[in-house]
Structure 1
Amino acid sequence: MINYSPLWETMRQRDVSTYTLIHKYGINPRTINNLKHNKSITMFTLERLCEILNCEPNDIIRFEKK
């Protein structure tokens, strides 16, 4: 199961809000909704978030066994 809880902590540490992701970096609000509900995102989006937050994929996503 996909879990984006590391993303929210990384964003907090870097003082980046979802508003900033949407309005400054052009992340689609639907993508933010997918992240909030632990739904899948594209590899392009994962790469983009890593660039924006200057982090690694493990700082954004965690895979958990069901």
Structure 2
Amino acid sequence: MTVNYDKLWKLLIDKKISKTQLVHKSGISTNAMAKMGKNQFVRLEVLIRICDILHCQIDDIIDYSMDVETERGGNSYEI
């Protein structure tokens, strides 16, 4: 499974909010922001806090897709 936060970055640009402002307004850690910058998984709580601040739904800020192994029932994703 892969995750991509390009929707979040576009939404921040559209709303004229910097990543630093989002960290301060939402109370998420800079580590969580760094993980998202690398398209790594973060806790659901982080995504919910961001959505609360931006008044959006989770699917407005994240894209995910399953890789071939996961679709076949394998456990190839990272936690």
Query: TM-score, length-normalised on structure 1?
Result: 0.88
Identity %: 30
CA distance in 2, matches of 1:47, 1:24: 13
Structure 1 unpaired stretches of 5+: none
1:1-66 alignment runs, 5 A limit: 1-66=2-67
Query: TM-score, length-normalised on structure 2?
Result: 0.75
Q: Call closer, same or farther: CA 1:64–1:8 in 2, change over 3 Å.
A: same
Aligned Cα root-mean-square deviation (Å): 1.3
Q: Which has the higher contact order (CA 8 A, sep 6+)?
A: 1
CA shift at 1:65, angstroms?
4.1
CA shift at 1:32, angstroms?
0.6
> Which of these two proteins has the greater Rg computed from alpha carbons?
2
